[in-house]
Amino acid sequence: MTEFSNKQIITGNTLLSGEAVFLSGDDTFGPDLFNAQIFTDDVSANHALSQCIERSDEIISPYLVSVDVQNSVIRPQELREQIRTAGPSNYFHGKQTEIR
């Protein structure tokens, strides 16, 4: 069993391109999951989310995603989010083409 985790990150899609992006520690949104800021409690996560919602000229429909972190590798718990962070499984398209 995976151990209980309440680690969360914030994700959304950029307005201009629609690309899936993640909030990083320097308060910018970028395409790289490994830069994502990890929130360990609901209060700070929700606080940060409400600030992201204000940034709707940059980012659309931001939301929280539960993640597991092992050896500082971030992995979303849900398949949907795993696919968002990797790209579709039918073609080598999307983020997986950039991850090395």
Partner 1 sequence: MYQYTNFDRQFIAARNTQFRQQVARRIDGSLTEEEFRPLRLMNGVYLQLHAYMLRVAIPYGTLSSAQMRQLAIIADKWDKGYGHFTTRQNIQFNWPRLIDVPDILDALAEVDLHAIQTSGNTIRNITSDHFAGATSDEVEDPRIISEIIRQWSTDHPEFQFLPRKFKIAVTGCATDRAVIKAHDIGLQATRRDGVIGYQVFVGGGLGRTPVIGKLLCDFLPKQDLLPYLESILSVYNTSGRRDNKYKARIKILVNALGIDNFRDQVEARFSSIRKTFASPDGSFIDNITSQFSPPDFTDRSVSPFEESYQTNPMFKQWVDRNTAQHKHEDYRIVTVSLKEPGQTPGDATSEQMQVLADLAESFSFDELRISHEQNIVLPHVHKADLPLLYNTLKKHRLATANIGLISDIIACPGMDYCSLATARSIPVAKEISTHFDENNMEQDTGEVKIKVSGCINACGHHHVAHIGVLGLNRAGVENYQITLGGDATENTAIGDRAGPGFSQSEVVPAIERILGTYHKLRHDAEESFINTYKRVGITPFKSALYPAAKQSR
Binding site for partner 1 (CB under 8 A): 13, 15-20, 56-57, 60-61, 77-80, 83-84, 87-91, 93-95
Residue 69 vs 86, nearer CB to partner 1: 86
Give the type of residue at 96: Q
In angstroms, what is the minimal distance from the CB of 40 to partner 1? 21
Residue 44 vs 54, nearer CB to partner 1: 54
- Dihedral sign, CA of 49, 54, 58, 59? positive
Residue 7 vs 95, nearer CB to partner 1: 95
In angstroms, what is the minimal distance from the CB of 69 to partner 1? 18
Coil/strand/helix, residue 63:
strand
Q: Could you tell me where the beta strands, DSSP code E, fall in the chain?
A: 8-14, 20-23, 29-30, 59-70, 73-76
Residue 19 vs 42, nearer CB to partner 1: 19
Closest CA to 80 of 57, 60, 63, 56: 63
In angstroms, what is the minimal distance from the CB of 5 to partner 1? 13
